[in-house]
Amino acid sequence: MNTEALNKSDLILRISEKNPHLAEPIVEEAVKIMIDHMIAALSANQRIEIRGFGSFALHHRQPRLGRNPKTGEKVTVSAKAVPHFKPGKALRDAVNEQAGK
């Protein structure tokens, strides 16, 4: 099983290699803009849907009473929003096809 991560720099490099007519700085800027727009949309509590890939949405967690694991003391954990990714059918099928090989 390959556990190597694909980071942003690798993604930019791969896109540049597959599109030699696009200079790497242009691809880098496009990826940065896309990520910035996704962050802005989620920050505005908007859902992001990329057909064939998946969707991003916020899951809202209620405030709760937790415990400090070191001391056992009760602490209040405030409400928060957590980004959540749900893969689309095409992505699930592609991943499962690869896993079955």
- pLDDT of 86 higher than 80: yes
Mean pLDDT calculated for residue range 60-75: 95
Mean pLDDT calculated for residue range 18-45: 96
The beta strand positions in the chain, using DSSP E, are 48-50, 54-61, 64-67, 74-77, 80-87
Question: Residue 7: what pLDDT?
Answer: 95
Domains of the chain and any CATH numbers: 8-100 (4.10.520.10)
CA dist 9 and 46 (Å) reads 27
Binned at pLDDT 50, 70 and 90, residue 98 comes out as confident
